[in-house]
Amino acid sequence: MTAPLRQTEPSVVRVALGERAYDILIGRGLLANLGERIKMLRPGARVAIVTDEAVAKIHLGAAEAAIKSSGIDSARIVVPAGESSKSYATLEKVCEAIIAARVERNDLIVALGGGVIGDLAGFAASCVRRGLDFVQVPTTLLAQVDSSVGGKTGINSRQGKNLIGTFHQPVLVIADTALLDTLPKREFRAGYAEVAKYGLLGDAAFFAWLEKNWQDVFAGGPAREQAIAVCCRAKAGIVARDERETGERALLNLGHTFGHALEAGCGFSDMLLHGEAVALGTALAFEFSAQKGLIAASEAARAAAHLAAVGLPTHLKDVPGGVPGIDILMDLIAQDKKVKRGTLTFILLRGRAFVENNVDAAEVRTFLEQKLTSA
Ligand SMILES: NC(=O)c1ccc[n+]([C@@H]2O[C@H](COP(=O)([O-])OP(=O)(O)OC[C@H]3O[C@@H](n4cnc5c(N)ncnc54)[C@H](O)[C@@H]3O)[C@@H](O)[C@H]2O)c1
Ligand SMILES: [Zn+2]
């Protein structure tokens, strides 16, 4: 059967990585074409779908039906939902299940889920039989605009997040924007912090468009697809120029140094989701840049105003339960980034975002102390 199951053609973004190049397909209803796409990409391949329990309940049936309708054989590997699945124990289960399902070198792993599943399944794919190809089918906004693209895979160490992992690019990304309709609003909003990040990094026209159209992005429809395509195009360009993060790719960490410290300070709990921490961290990075005279105060205020308008936190006082004290925060910031003789690395703004390797730790401390006392 070759009849298209969608009315309109998907947006296609190419990640130009030579022999590791791949397409990101973005559109509403694309999951129905999963089997056809796999068949085109890898005729005769078998498939193992890795997903989590929450996504399995809602979307696994449709994914399996789409694969079966193309005559492809599939196995399912379902792990508990949540960050705790990025562990050695779950990785072992996934690897063993892939082998037990007799997935071989010409076959494919499908990661159906958010960033947790993409990171875990991608890592398992990179390890089993010295590397299996995998397809990302991201089901959260964060995964559609960020984690499914670029090939970073991994699990968490007892000593920190994402410390065990590989670079392993997917062979295809299928972002079905309709899957986001079932995402809890808070998760969608947290993912939106990463969407806004692409505008704030240096795409002023996109940021202005978001200020006008964010409600349509939340509602679904063409604006959502358009926003996701802009983000994927930006990330694809950065990844193609700097796959291993030796330079430009670090710009995607805008808001993440402050953000990670706050996330860690809240114990990576539901109190503060990753995207919420990124929103807060981005607002702080803008304000810090303004205080250093790199941008106008009005620019920092504009960034924060948009994040706040969609309901994201932008003040330390917005964190439920409060944030840790200055000493703990500074320790967490120092752990997150390399510290060289009292200087820290931050992504700051001066028109566009740039990497500043020479930020004085004492200056950051004074800035945060002010924020904490004004909170
Ligand atoms: N590899 C990268 O480049 C990269 C980049 C950014 C983040 N990450 C990683 O991504 C992870 C966070 O990803 P996330 O925010 O997608 O979290 P997640 O995968 O835990 O998903 C969030 C929650 O939403 C549920 N869910 C997912 N899709 C759903 C849907 N369509 N409908 C209803 N519920 C759904 C999940 O079951 C989960 O409970 C972190 O581990 C982070 O380290 C990786
Ligand atoms: Zn992030």
pLDDT digits (tens, 9 = 90+) for 66-105: 999 999 999 999 999 999 999 999 999 999 999 999 999 9
Q: Which ligand has an atom closest to residue 141 CA?
A: 1
Neighbours of 121 (CB within 10 A): 30
Binning pLDDT at 50, 70 and 90, where does residue 335 land? confident
Helix, coil or strand: residue 165: strand
Q: Which ligand has an atom closest to residue 57 CA?
A: 1
Query: Among the listed ranges 97-106, 156-165, 202-211, 246-255, which one has the minimum average pLDDT value?
Result: 156-165
Find the 131 Cα to ligand 2 centroid distance in Å.
26
Q: Counting Cβ atoms within 10 Å, is residue 187 exposed (0-12), middle (13-18) or buried (19+)?
A: middle
**Which pLDDT score, from 0 to 100, does residue 13 have?**
98
Write the residue with the smallest CA distance to atom 44 of ligand 1: 147
**Which pLDDT score, from 0 to 100, does residue 57 have?**
98
When comparing pLDDT for 334 and 166, which is higher? 166
Q: Which two tokens stand for residue 296?
A: 């106008």
Binning pLDDT at 50, 70 and 90, where does residue 33 land? very high
Q: How far apart are the first and last CA of the chain?
A: 60
Q: Is the pLDDT of residue 227 over 60?
A: yes
Write the residue with the smallest CA distance to atom 4 of ligand 1: 147
**Which pLDDT score, from 0 to 100, does residue 6 have?**
52
Is any ligand 1 atom within 6 A of the Cβ of residue 53? no
**Which pLDDT score, from 0 to 100, does residue 339 have?**
62
Residues marked as catalytic? 130, 152, 194, 235, 245, 249, 253, 256, 260, 274
Q: What is the pTM of this model?
A: 0.96
User: Letter for the amino acid at 35?
Assistant: G
Neighbours of 87 (CB within 10 A): 17
Is any ligand 1 atom within 6 A of the Cβ of residue 233? no
